[in-house]
Structure 1
């Protein structure tokens, strides 16, 4: 069973991702949700997810900065960056 952490400042986006994951994959469990990059860093340490789905643009520590911090602790961590940017 793969453990996933969802990171997005938009509750609707987190809920949509949770529904897609829970309905589409039997070998995956959403173990936590974070609204900000700083929360993602803390929850990564507590929950040790296998995969993190990370938004880029968030208040405070953004997804790029949080990814950098998390990857410095564990280079083998899988982080998938999500964005609604069209560029």
Structure 2
């Protein structure tokens, strides 16, 4: 094996471990928002709504940073209008 082959193996191994750790982070349970709950939201990073083809109340997820820069996620109920057709 030459240096280029070893470097490629190392690169793919590193990328694979990074993908695995990212998957492990998403496997954690995300708490659900309840009415009146205080959220320390400094910046919204992302909003996920995987139910775009549904109409009505769906579960969405917001990823955000608090005032100390720490990342958090919370699930909440949202009204999706992806598959709603007005007027027929």
- The structure with the greater share of residues assigned to helix is 1
TM-score by length of 2: 0.21
- The structure with the greater share of residues assigned to strand is 2
TM-score by length of 1: 0.21
* The structure with more radius of gyration: 2
- Where relative contact order (Cα < 8 A, 6+ residues apart) is larger, the structure is 1
